Structures are given as C-alpha cells and as structure tokens.
Amino acid sequence: MVLRRNSEARGGQGEPVAVELEGAEGFYHGGPGSQGAVLWETGSGSCGLITLAVSLPGADHAELRTQTLKIAESLEG
C-alpha cells in the first residue's frame, strides 16, 4: 500500500466511491493484475491529487476492490 500526493491525474475517470478526503469524491481504478487505486482530486495547489495504491498478489479483482475500499474508508475522518 502506498499513499501519495501527485500533481496530475493519470488514466480515466474511474468508478465513483463513497469515500471522501479533504472534501473530494474518490474514484476507484482497477489496474493490471492485482493492483488497484483510489484517487481524490482535492484541487489544493500543485499536489492536489491524493492516490492510494494497493497491490494484493493473488487477489482477484473483486477482493482487490473490497480491500482497497476498506483501506480508503480507514482514511476518511
């Protein structure tokens, strides 16, 4: 698991999720293999994109999504 700030989004829109960070709606992105991510575009300066990237070797896409969203929910507060 990696949590980082980036300056620009990569990829498409993603699937909206109910988890918000810094007032921004999150979007789930399934990646290749057993990688997934949730992205939040906060609009706060040059590093306004928050990315939670998760890798779960051996997990199928449904399990990866479930676990990624559980981690994202733990960040909401």
Q: Measured between alpha carbons, how far is 44 from 34 in angstroms, rounded to an integer?
A: 30
Residue 40: the pLDDT is 93
What would the two tokens of residue 8 be?
């620009």
Per-residue pLDDT reduced to its tens digit, 2-17: 999 887 766 677 999 9
Q: What is the DSSP string of 29-77?
A: EE-STTEEEEEEE---GGG-EEEEEEE-TT--HHHHHHHHHHHHHHH--
Give the predicted TM-score (pTM) of the model: 0.86
State pLDDT tens for residues 29-65: 998 889 999 999 988 777 889 999 999 999 999 999 9
pLDDT of amino acid 3: 92
